[in-house]
Amino acid sequence: MNDNTTPVFVDGLSRLPLLTDHGRAFNGLKNSSSAELVERVKSLFEYLNERLGFPDSTEGRESQECFNTLLRSVYPEVMIDLADLVYAQHERLAVFLSFDHINVNLKKEMEENCGSFEAINKKMGQLFYQLARTIIENPALRQDSEIIRLLSESYSYYLYQTENFPWDNPVQARPLNSHQPVLDTATGLAGFSMIHEWSEKFPKLVLSDNEPFIVCALSHYLELTGKRNVVLVEAEFPVSPPAGMKFGLIMATKFLHHLTRPDRIKFLEWSMDALEPNGMLAIMDTDLEYEILEQSKQPEFGGKLTAGYQETLVEIEDGFADNLKSDVASTGFRVTHFECREYHDETDAFSQNPGDNLSLKFSGLEIAAEKPGA
């Protein structure tokens, strides 16, 4: 089914429909308490049906039948699963379909002694992940504004309704005064919890990102919350940072390891210029991804990584923590706090298969640095 010469999903004119009446019933959605998610599940797959289908072959018909069995029994939160796979894989690695939910719905329509669902679950999972890969690898689909809108609004509604945030903000910002704005750089999924937790008594919080899915999702979530002292700007560091704005605090949380050293220095120079006198730069980061890249050179390690994850990593230099501290000081900041610790973790968070633990050693660091007064 995953043969490179026989794509699972195709866009040719002679394709079989993605959706059939069997799948279009969406029985798994009928008792949902979230009408917003239900509406968007149906809209997304109808929209994809106009753009994708299955090969007109025996194998294509088998895939069509299995895929529509999945859709018939699927749950509303499948939109979160698909969004994580397509747009947030770097932040949300472990994405698994909830087959417990799907199988409960399947059992309602089958004989009491229907046997094990292991085989069909495996095939449904393969089809779902292949759909995600098809969207990722097709720029016209991955960048499609309607697909982004439907998935990002689903993400936003789900988090607004459940407060089950995907990535808790590890840094609880303490504004230095009551009037100078705070900037969070390359916010990502942490923005949802930041918006939720940001007190109305705090100064303006400026979130920043340039990924269309993140920008759309956070913008929609901001509308739902009605927060007036939080804004979102589109920015890419260091090439197009926010212009014409000054800050009392700039937070760079688990972001600078995405930049090569020359680009990190450019970011630090921009931060020095963008901060008010006596403003603070707060950095929290790790060299975890450097260590993953290094270990992935070993076949037994690299073969276990979640498919596609390695391609999202930026290769940085050895000595990241010491270099970063040195570059902060060289830029003109006064380093008021520096802490670096070694960590050792056994985790399956980066593995293709649950329970397949990887042994990871990495450094975590915190830097607080002040811009000199006028």
Q: Whole-angstrom Cα distance, residue 359 to residue 292?
A: 10
DSSP string, 292-328: HHHHTTSHHHHTTBPTTTGGG-----TTHHHHHHHHH
pTM, two decimal places: 0.90
The structure tokens 């994405």 sit at 95
**Cα atoms found within 13 Å of the Cα of residue 284, Cβ hemisphere only:** 9
The structure tokens 């750089």 sit at 185
Please tell me the predicted confidence (pLDDT) of residue 178: 62
Please tell me the predicted confidence (pLDDT) of residue 3: 44
Structural domains present in the chain: 16-146 (no CATH), 182-370 (3.40.50.150)
Q: Whole-angstrom Cα distance, residue 163 to residue 215?
A: 19
Q: Token pair of 212, please?
A: 């269309």
Going through the chain in order, the beta strands assigned E by DSSP cover 16-17, 53-54, 182-184, 205-209, 230-234, 247-253, 275-286, 334-347, 358-370
Residues facing residue 343 across a β-bridge: 362
Residue from 41, 43, 67, 39 nearest 53 by CA: 67
Tell how far CA 290 is from the center of its chain: 19
Could you tell me the end-to-end alpha-carbon distance of the chain, in angstroms, rounded to an integer?
A: 65
In the chain, the amino acid numbered 91 is: E
DSSP string, 65-83: HHHHHHHHH--TTHHHHHH
Helices 118-137 and 78-87 pack at an angle, to 10 degrees, of 50
User: Under a CB-based contact definition with an 8 Å cutoff, are residues 317 and 346 in contact?
Assistant: no
Please tell me the predicted confidence (pLDDT) of residue 2: 46
Q: Token pair of 36, please?
A: 């917003």
Please tell me the predicted confidence (pLDDT) of residue 261: 95
Give me the tens of pLDDT residue by residue for the chain, a chain 374 residues long: 444 567 999 998 899 999 999 999 999 999 899 999 999 999 999 999 999 999 999 999 999 999 999 999 999 999 999 999 999 876 665 667 888 889 988 888 776 556 678 899 999 999 999 999 999 999 999 999 999 999 999 999 999 999 998 765 554 555 556 689 999 999 999 999 999 999 998 999 999 999 999 999 999 999 999 999 999 999 999 999 999 999 999 999 999 999 999 999 999 999 999 999 999 999 999 998 888 888 888 887 877 787 777 877 888 888 999 999 999 999 999 999 999 999 998 887 787 777 788 888 889 999 999 999 87
Please tell me the predicted confidence (pLDDT) of residue 114: 60
Residues constituting the chain: 374
The structure tokens 């913008």 sit at 219
The structure tokens 């390359």 sit at 186
